[in-house]
Amino acid sequence: MPKTTSFIVALVLALATVTPALANQSSYHGPVVLESAHPDLAQGLLTLRGHFGLRSLTVWMGDDRLDIVKHKTGELVVLLPNHIAPGTYDVIVARSRRANQYDSMSVAIVQSGNGGGGGGNGTPGLRGPAGPQGPAGPQGAAGAQGPAGPAGPAGAAGSPGAQGGPGPAGPQGPAGVSGYVTTLSNLTTLTVANFGLVTLTSDCPAGTRVFSAFIFLEVSGSRRPIPLPLTGYPSGSGQWTFVVQNPNNFVFTTDIRHGAVCAAAN
């Protein structure tokens, strides 16, 4: 077999072997699980092992966000903060804040001694299982009453009620009038001097009372209002008086008729 053919066959076999492995690593979509932590103060590194997948993660030690220098589905290597002091720190590996998308554990940072003969830090053991759930706490105090809600919509109109009975009879009304009569004067010439006043009266028949009156000028049989200021008032039980004023500097003359509206009182 030629060398070129052999190389291609070998490359195909290698890709066929590597591709499933890579697919298995990147196909993990389960929760973030942090199983162990191994600090290396000499290198300034912290190695975390567990189940992480290959999606983007953030790693926190207390309030410090740690830079990730290696990311595998089962292992993370991060840089420790400079000059980190000995103590116990909470380490959090997070994909997001949702449930099962982060995990945490406490990690002890211990400075190794400078004296000879001392052994190095031991490998931290695996985290133990979660303890049982504690008892329920006492019920909290009742909260303050909330504000009143908005008014609800108006209800539907009710059905009409039954018709009520007839009311009591009202009191007797005052006496009315009868014998309606209208009087009308003959055609009369009205002359009012300049800036003068003229008084006219319209009388009702005997036994009747005046209720109103009227006056108009008549030109060729056509009735028109008088173009002068005038007023009128009842000057007796059966009489109406008109007062006509001429505010002009000339004599006013025209033909008029006037009358009264009368009725017998009951």
Do the beta carbons of residue 226 and residue 255 sit within 8 Å?
no
Is residue 262 within 8 Å of residue 209, measured between CB atoms?
A: yes
Q: Which of 1-10, 188-197, 198-207 has the lowest mean pLDDT?
A: 1-10
pLDDT of the residue at 171: 92
pLDDT, residue 133, reads 82
Q: According to the model, what pLDDT value does residue 3 have? A: 41
118: pLDDT strictly greater than 50: no
pLDDT of residue 125: 57
| Per-residue pLDDT reduced to its tens digit, 124-146 | 556 667 778 878 888 888 889 99
Q: How are beta strands 177-182 and 102-109 bridged, if at all?
A: unpaired
Statement: residue 208 has pLDDT above 80 = yes
